[in-house]
Every structure is written in C-alpha cells, then in structure tokens.
Amino acid sequence: MEAIKSAAKRALIYPAFTLLVVGAAGIFWMSVVVPKIVELFEAMNVEFEQATLALIAMSEFFSEYWPMLLASILAIPVIWIIARRNERFRLATDHGLWRFPLLGRIVRGGQMAFYINTCP
C-alpha cells in the first residue's frame, strides 16, 4: 500500500516541478521582459494590435498586483487542505477529479488500487 502511494507521489513530482518552473518563467516574462519591450516599441511609436495590447494589459496587471497574486498562489494549497477536511467538499471534489481526462485516470487507478489492497 505504501509502495503504491509513494510511486504515485514520485510520478507526480516531475509534472509539478515542470509546472512550477513554467509558471515562474511566465511571471518573470510578464513582470520584467514584456515591460522593457513595450518601452522600446513605445519609443519607436509603433502601433500595437489587439493581441499585443491584451499582453501588455496582462503584464501591467502582473507588475501592479504581484503581491496579491503571490499571496493567492500560496493560499490556494492551504485553503484546499483545510477544505478537504469537510466530508461533503471532499466527496464533491473526488467526484469532480474522477471526471478530469488525464488526472481522472490517475485518481481512479490510485483509488482502485487502494480498494483492491485493503478490502477482502
């Protein structure tokens, strides 16, 4: 039982680390690189297209509200852990996790392995 849990956790470490690195790179680009590029293009009096204006707005949002974004990112796992103590919330989220395309297969497999190993 512990071997299955540990193997599942090890299997999720790499995707979690990759997601963390990609997210950090995105935040760095939005808060540091994009504003410098915008300054350069504004000095050249270049007109921006709608997609570029949306990217600039997102970059300004990151630059202005980064403390709130960081606090939100740190608070989400804490809130999740506390909320999972409630049985109705846990059942609803487990039911929802079963329906996710890739994650659902992992959750179902883990729960079935748990059931098969523990039930007579």
- Residue pair 60/34 in contact (Cβ under 8 Å)? The answer is no
Domain locations in the chain as residue ranges: 1-65
Residue 120 reports pLDDT greater than 70: no
Q: What is the pLDDT of residues 69-79, one digit of tens each?
A: 889 988 999 99
Of 42, 40, 34, 38, the C-alpha closest to 59 is 34
The Cα 25–Cα 62 span in angstroms is 13
Q: What is the pLDDT of residues 6-51, one digit of tens each?
A: 887 788 888 889 998 998 898 889 888 999 999 998 899 888 899 9
